[in-house]
């Protein structure tokens, strides 16, 4: 899959692209296979899996150290249209920190997976616009949004110098929402570029949409996120809503016979709470 992703990047119509693959502690033959099958790329092999945020920061820090102006952060389960990067670069501006293409399900290329997110003013929830809908007139224009997802982001590296890299406390999930809030708080804009298209093979890295691994990290990261940003909304409402949501999630999983997934979810909440407490003490 990573080979497919890199080949799609190499097929894009855009001059002077430098591609780096972060092998995040795969522990298998991936680096050798990538070197055999791909040319003109950098492969950075990490000794262990340090998570999405920290792994992404390795590439972003390389770009900063080498004085790039922009970096395209992209998951290996996402495949750009040939003109995606050209369209994104045409829309760049100094006050825009992050830009995203419109993202479709790879299996249904006319059905939207992500078209920008809005923030619930009280609960801080991501209101993911358009997900599951067939593409239509509602999603045809470029527009400012509250949240963007890390599946594919064109990153203004000058903005990073002011706001900082991804928060590595999030091993996986919610680091992009945290980043979105931090950039907006610093006065930057986030922008969906509807004419730029990407196709996503969803939930591959976590083993599927309802795997114990995915539920664990969603719960763990959600606790960190909502606690850290509670002052952006109404903290009492967030507490009540998240508590009721947790009870509902566990109940649904147990009734569905997914006891191992429910245990992973509760363990994630527990570990998120522990990390918050440790950070507060430090």
Query: Count of CB atoms within 10 A of residue 65's CB?
Result: 8
- Mark whether 119 and 247 lie in a shared domain: no
What is the predicted pLDDT for the residue at 27? 85
- Tell whether 264 and 244 lie within a shared domain: yes
The answer on 250 and 127 residing in a single domain is no
Are residues 239 and 131 part of one domain?
A: no
Reduce the secondary structure of 213-228 to three states and give it as a string. Answer: HHHHHHHHHHHHHHHH
- Residue 93 falls within a domain, yes or no? yes
Say if residue 135 is in the same domain as residue 238: no
In a domain, 132, yes or no: yes
Check residue 71 and give its pLDDT: 97
pTM (two decimals):
0.90
Residue 113 structural domain: 2-200
- pLDDT surpassing 80 at residue 202: no
Q: Is residue 163 part of a domain?
A: yes
Mean pLDDT for 65-73 is 96
Residue where one domain finishes, among candidates 200, 224, 246? 200
- Do residues 63 and 174 share a domain? yes
CA 254 from chain centre, in angstroms, equals 28
Q: Both 92 and 219 in a single domain? A: no
206 domain residue, yes or no: no
Number of structural domains, the chain? 2
Closest CA to 254 of 244, 242, 269, 264: 264
CATH number of the domain bearing residue 91: 3.90.550.60
Q: Which of 129, 132, 88 is nearest to 110 (CA)?
A: 132
- pLDDT, tens digit (0-9, with 9 covering 90-100), for 209-254: 678 999 999 999 999 999 999 988 899 999 999 999 999 999 999 9
């Amino acid at each position: 899959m990573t080979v497919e992703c890199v080949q799609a990047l190499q097929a894009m119509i855009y001059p002077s692209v430098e591609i780096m693959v972060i092998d995040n502690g795969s522990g298998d033959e991936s680096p050798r296979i990538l070197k055999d099958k791909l040319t003109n790329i950098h492969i950075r092999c990490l000794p262990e899996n340090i998570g999405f945020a920290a792994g992404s920061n390795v590439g972003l820090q390389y770009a900063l150290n080498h004085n790039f102006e922009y970096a395209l952060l992209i998951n290996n389960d996402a495949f750009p249209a040939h003109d995606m990067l050209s369209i994104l670069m045409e829309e760049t501006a100094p006050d825009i920190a992050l830009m995203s293409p419109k993202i479709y399900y790879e299996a249904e290329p006319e059905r939207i997976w992500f078209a920008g997110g809005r923030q619930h003013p009280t609960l801080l929830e991501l209101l993911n616009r358009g997900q599951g809908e067939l593409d239509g007139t509602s999603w045809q224009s470029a527009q400012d949004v509250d949240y963007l997802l890390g599946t594919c982001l064109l990153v203004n590296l000058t903005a990073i110098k002011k706001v900082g890299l991804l928060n590595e406390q999030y091993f996986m999930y919610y680091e992009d929402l945290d980043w979105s809030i931090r950039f907006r708080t610093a006065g930057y804009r986030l922008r969906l570029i509807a004419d730029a298209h990407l196709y996503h093979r969803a939930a591959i890295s976590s083993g599927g949409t309802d795997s114990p691994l995915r539920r664990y990290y969603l719960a763990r990261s959600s606790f960190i996120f909502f606690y850290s940003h509670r002052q952006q909304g109404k903290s009492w409402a967030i507490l009540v809503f998240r508590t009721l949501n947790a009870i509902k999630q566990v109940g649904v999983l147990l009734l569905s016979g997914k006891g191992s997934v429910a245990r992973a979810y509760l363990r994630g909440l527990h570990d998120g709470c522990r990390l918050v407490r440790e950070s507060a003490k430090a």
